[in-house]
Amino acid sequence: MIEKPDWGPLATYAPNKTEPVHNWFYYKESFSKQLVMKVLNLFGAREGNLVLDPFCGVGTTMLACKEMGIDSVGFDAHPLAVFVSRVKLRDYHRGEILREMDRILESKFVKPKLLIKNKILKRGFPKHSLEEIIFYRDLIMQARDKDVRDFLLLGLMNVAMRCSYINKDGAVIKIKKRKNIPLPRKVLKNQFERMLKNLDRIKFQRSRVRADFGDARKLGLTDNVADFIITSPPYLNKREYEKIFSIEQGLFLDMVGFGSYSDYIGSDIRELEKDSAKLLNVLGDETNKLPKTANAYFMDMFQAIEEMYWVCIPGAKVAVVVGNGCFPTRVVDSDVILSKIAESVGFRAKRILVLNKRWCTKKRTKKVGIMRESLLLWEK
Ligand SMILES: C[S@@+](CC[C@H](N)C(=O)[O-])C[C@H]1O[C@@H](n2cnc3c(N)ncnc32)[C@H](O)[C@@H]1O
């Protein structure tokens, strides 16, 4: 275990805020493009290699690989994450985007019929803003080219959140009425133009890239294909993605035919009984001392790590960013436990680089212990 605090900020989304295209969607749990690039350099990745991210979120790993001309493939169980990854990773014909932008921005506003039952949606927006958002959404849905449609939808999604009362606080959506919220029509053009400018600022090298729906525990890839894995699974006891994007999902994605989110790591506590012998083998008595949710999480991660092992070529290198779990009575050292699991499936766990340390607290006041956020380095 080695302390590496200078890489700490890179384990967060913050550096992506000023990075073109990476900043098209705020996904709190993302790591940064810079972290991916540092790991690619550390691993000596080059053209012709394939990088896998089995928990790809909004595609940071793949986008960084595309900038470096390295092939990559990513999977996520969250429809919104896959949608955002795909929009960020595509190559676009600007002419078509500009044509559709003009059509949409020059259309005369016609009040749509609001048939919305969802309470958060109704309370989350000033009525007129919601009407404008739905008006623009329906115009965007008429775009001839699907890629252009998705590009514009992502732009509108960002605008919708800025023009709402919605405040995402950790894992919960809060409605906070505020004054001076901009009207969608005032900011939409600017948003589209900013995204287009980003496309000029980002430099891609030739490479192949794919983002797909998938469950990290059964990816459906052939064995021995990945030269490297750079990834970050959900952190133990942090279930932030499930509900937090329900507005975006309901307003924009359900109609594009994106599925629902069900294969979340650690969510199926019933799994515990079925297959806990493997975990018991690795962790011994520790298994019985872990909270139930932690056991479910590690059993799912066991499967995901086995899957990583099979898809890796011999000699492949793996980097996993993960945080420890905070419970009212203890901290669970996920970094150490996942490394033990990795060794048990055949990886060599080489290092744990400790990037960040935070207090785990009970009811936000009583200190329970220190939680690490670490970068785990393994080799097949
Ligand atoms: C820490 S985030 C990854 C963020 C990513 N590194 C980025 O920069 O955007 C973990 C991701 O794992 C996804 N996830 C949860 N369960 C999954 C599963 N069974 N298979 C694949 N992805 C899953 C979540 O939806 C979430 O997007």
- The rounded average pLDDT for each run of 10 residues, N- to C-terminus, in the chain (380 residues) is 97 96 94 98 97 98 98 94 96 95 96 78 88 95 95 96 86 82 94 97 95 94 97 86 78 70 70 68 85 90 97 98 95 97 97 97 89 98
Q: How close is the Cα of 211 to the center of ligand 1, in Å?
A: 12
Rounded-to-5 percentages of helix, strand, coil across the chain: 45, 20, 35
Does 58 contact ligand 1 (Cβ within 6 A)? yes
322 touches ligand 1 (CB under 6 Å): no
Which CATH topology does 2-17+30-78+226-237+265-379 take? Rossmann fold (3.40.50)
User: Looking at residue 168, what is its pLDDT?
Assistant: 80
Domain range annotation of the chain = 2-17+30-78+226-237+265-379, 94-201
31 lines ligand 1 (CB under 6 A): yes
Edge-to-edge strands, sheet with 71-76: 2-3, 348-362, 366-379, 312-323, 226-231, 50-53, 71-76, 209-213
CA of 78 from ligand 1 middle (Å) equals: 7
267 CA closest ligand 1 atom index: 16
pLDDT 10s digits, 61-115: 999 999 999 999 999 998 899 999 999 999 998 999 999 999 999 999 999 887 7
Phi, psi of 93 (to 5 degrees): -95, 110
User: Is residue 83 lining ligand 1, measured as CB closer than 6 Å?
Assistant: no
Closest C-alpha residue for ligand 1 atom 3: 57
Q: Is 232 in the pocket of ligand 1 (CB under 6 A)?
A: yes
C-alpha span between 234 and 297 (Å, rounded) = 9
Ligand 1 centroid to residue 138 C-alpha, Å: 30
In short, whether 336's Cβ falls inside 6 Å of ligand 1 is: no
Q: What is the pTM of this model?
A: 0.95
**pLDDT at res. 278:** 83
| E strand or H helix at 314 | strand 312-323
- Best mutation site among 29, 80, 218, 249 for ligand 1, i.e. most ligand atoms within 8 A of its Cβ? 29
**Chain centroid, CA 170 distance in Å:** 15
Q: What pLDDT does 262 receive?
A: 66
**Pocket of ligand 1 contains residue 25 by CB under 6 Å:** no
